[in-house]
Structure 1
């Protein structure tokens, strides 16, 4: 602990963000880096707690608290305070394969369980993490790590998202020959096509993929397992297969008028926008355009916020976001005490942009969509809603009831459904013959084996829709399990071996 009184003397400083209205004219990252001096001050705020709750990495009341990859946060905070950036990088990379991703898009459950946050704003852990890894790349400290010898074992990984990439990275370093199969034309999974460029620049993703390739990982793109190559062929060619397919089965809103032209899944909207940006800077026109339209986003999560930011940059006439829950409180409630993730009202980057453009918060709370209405040509023209209230039924369960007289008609030519995912897509799972439970692959955490010999599962395909940092956790852990399966024992780091 470099400065014992730092948390009392130094206030939290937020990351510098580009002007909300100015950044709407481009697709560059919305945040700017901190200076070394600011980072040093922020690192000094860390208390180096006897029990550092910032990296407990566990679910409490349905939400993640602390860091699921168990980052050694107090250690690298202290090193940044002392200006020992290279040592801080070594500590960071010892637990996290891709801090350049988590430092940008992780919701930072570590900060919610920071001890300073009991009474003051948390240590700026997420910003420090990003600063460490960015400095590592800028200074050339991060170079290809070529395994000194190969084991002769071959592993196929289905899916190139954060779980698949983390598993590939670990297994490659263990000396195995790793091939990652991806059905899209670019690797990265939702890191590439599910998160907009202004939140995670695709060059950041591409840089990491190129590094993995230089280290020996083989990416096979535009190849869908089950169509372009069979599960049986993979099981024959490889000593082990890992399913990291994600949970990409969209949850739909099955109501009247769903087939109206102009109603789309949020993830399709985001994917087409990013692909067109990367392919042609939107010159090809192969995207869903919000220009001049009244846009409604159904769903109050991060994906919905990303849709808002994208629609604003496309020149939407108006944007409104619907959420079924009431507005969150500005401070923790008695039922949401530290170290739980703080369920409090915040303005996401997209909401700041919308407020700057339209002069108000565009979110609508406790609202349910009843039906979509199209014009005579089948094109969406409006949707109908009613307000809801949360009440307890006769069994003590909380349910939502409609409030009579609150019906409303909203003009809309584009609606984006962002209400989550039901689990992994089933066809590839059926090809492998793996057992499922509640639509997810049945494989115990820590073991990760499916019922099919040599076939493992990790990430969202196993645990359901979750955080990027949990995907990295599972990618690292399944790598240990596979290495042990192939070699009889493993020297890879793992929490489960402690």
Structure 2
């Protein structure tokens, strides 16, 4: 009986939630996709083929049980769909908004491969969880038994918060330390509101607080409190700091004013959305209004920057990327959204210098794609004599992020790192070289996706619970 509601991909076409008009949405920071209506969510969920081997689930870092919650949605059993969804995903309302589904679940949908158009998994996931919040199905954590053990988590981003959720559900006392004045990490300050409205993040943080997670904010480990002090206060520690050090540009004039880091730029914009005073924005240093903006990079952070600059009222916004469209790392859906909003992409182009103080132009080298590198991607090669100058009043560096020197900053040389500077941790247990210290997310992987940080945090939470029981077991023996 249940399957009669499914397998409708042959007769029902793919539909995504309606997008707000590009001209209108380019003037505000509200999310651009409208919500599915209940009937439309059920209809689109019914397109799922209920595969025997669900590739959507296999290609989800969290292993979300997607076919089951699609079937429950098609049957109108939304609360059960939410329970299945949140069983494997700490923040489904966030993943439904910002996961690159075109590269993960939807990109591997069987009916997409057969030419019928993918099931709109991300939009249905968002609909299920938004409904759960509206209906009051999302409850504060209530552990069955409180435990005496305490865990300190350094970093209130998705990895740290996912681990906090797992540990609190088991009754462990959890304290999260973060350098910012609000929890959430990049979810709060790095991702613009048009992709992830901030009340979505704040609601989840409030739910964790109501469940007993303690937050110590404006706390810079290594300055305000030592790492050793945190280890001394807790039975175990989780490092979930992320990577925030911006990769720098080379070439003459690279230190000119008007050349800014992507995260500084996005943070200033997000702080304004909270109503904070942001002197760097008000002075114009981190504000694109009335400026010719050039963003350098081709990842999702670059897409966030170009689309933010449009909304701030830039005169023009251009994105330089050294490879072509097919080889860029960012979401193709985000590129399309940016183009609709007025961003111009300049493919096969890389900066080699800057003129003016403050910056007035970028010297651009034209490139072509040559032989594949060790990753299989074609390497960009310089075309001699094809340089030109691109006028610019604001240049935003979105070249990726590198880890900070945590052993040096925290005076903890015994914390082992890799040759890339990331913390060395076991990929199964997430244990580091220090007893009782674990690490997750970008500080281990390098800059990656939010969904991978959530997976790491959930796994680490389980590993920490196992580790906490070992001393008690040893004493009993």
Measured in 2, the distance between the counterparts of 1:222 and 1:2 equals 54
Deviation at 1:162, TM superposition (A): 0.3
Q: Who is 1:95 aligned against?
A: 88
For 1:40-439, what aligned pairs fall within 5 Å after superposition? 40-56=42-58, 66-108=59-101, 109-118=104-113, 119-280=115-276, 285=282, 288-328=286-326, 347-354=335-342, 362-374=344-356, 378-392=357-371, 399-426=379-406, 427-428=408-409, 430-431=411-412, 433-437=414-418, 438-439=420-421
**Could you list the per-position Cα deviations for residues 93-140 of structure 1 after superposition, in whole angstroms to 9, with x for gaps in the alignment?**
100000111011110111111111102321100000000000000011
- Name the structure 2 match of 1:455: 437
User: CA shift at 1:32, angstroms?
Assistant: 1.1
Aligned 8 A contact 2:373 2:379 in 1: no
The answer (yes or no) to whether the contact 1:247–1:425 under 8 Å persists in 2 is no
- SS of 1:235's equivalent in the other structure is helix
Distance 1:436 1:5 in 2: 49
After superposing the two structures, state which structure 1 stretch, 166-175 or 26-35, moved more: 26-35
2:475 alignment counterpart: none
Would the aligned equivalents of 1:295 and 1:412 in 2 still touch at CA under 8 Å?
yes
- Retained in 2: the 8 A contact 1:2–1:82? no
> Pairwise CA RMSD of aligned residues?
2.4
Distance 2:219 2:120 in 1: 40
Q: Work out whether residues 327 and 377 of structure 2, in 8 Å CA contact, stay in contact via their aligned partners in 1.
A: no
Superposed displacement of residue 400, structure 1: 2.6
1:30 maps to which residue? 32
Confirm or deny: 8 A CA contact 1:158 1:245 kept in the other structure. Answer: yes
The 8 Å contact of residues 276 and 285 in structure 1, kept in 2 or not, is answered as no
* TM-score, length basis structure 2: 0.92
Residues 320 and 364 in structure 1, CA contact (< 8 A), matched pair in contact too = yes
Counterpart CA distance in 1 for 2:209 and 2:61 is 26
Tell me how far apart the structure 1 counterparts of residues 405 and 275 of structure 2 sit (CA, whole Å): 26
**Cα deviations by residue, 1:227-281 (Å, 9 ceiling, x for unpaired):** 0000111111100000001121211112211111100011110001111221348
Write the distance in 2 (CA, Å) between the matches of 1:305 and 1:129. Answer: 23
Hey, what's the Cα distance between the residues in 2 that align with 1:188 and 1:489?
A: 32
Between the aligned partners of 1:68 and 1:298, the Cα distance in structure 2 is 29
Pair 1:446-2:425 in alignment = no
Tell me whether 1:485 sits opposite 2:464 in the alignment. no
Deviation at 1:405, TM superposition (A): 3.2
Summarize deviations over 1:294-329 as a string: whole Å, max 9, x none: 000000111111111111111101100011111229
Displacement of 1:407 in angstroms is 1.2
Q: Is the 8 A contact 1:294 1:316 kept in 2?
A: yes
Distance in 2 (alpha carbons) for counterparts of 1:234 and 1:99: 31
**Equivalent position of 2:449 in the other structure:** 467
Taking structure 1 as reference, are residues 75 and 393 closer, same or farther at Cα in structure 2, changes over 3 Å only? closer
Number of aligned residue pairs: give it: 462
Query: Helix, strand or coil: the match of 1:112?
Result: helix
- The verdict on how the C-alpha distance between 1:160 and 1:2 changes in structure 2, with shifts beyond 3 A counting, is farther
| Structure 1 residue matching 2:105: 3-state secondary structure | helix
SS in 2 for 1:185: coil
The verdict on how the C-alpha distance between 1:481 and 1:6 changes in structure 2, with shifts beyond 3 A counting, is: same
Q: Secondary structure at the match of 2:438?
A: strand
SS at match of 2:325: coil
| CA distance in 2: counterparts of 1:106 and 1:322, whole angstroms | 24
Q: Is the 8 A contact 1:257 1:373 kept in 2?
A: yes
Per the normalisation by structure 1, the TM-score is: 0.88
Residues 407-438 of structure 1, C-alpha deviation per residue, up to 9 Å, x if partnerless? 11111010001011123453446537310012
- Structure 1 unaligned blocks of 5 or more: 57-65, 331-340, 356-361, 491-498
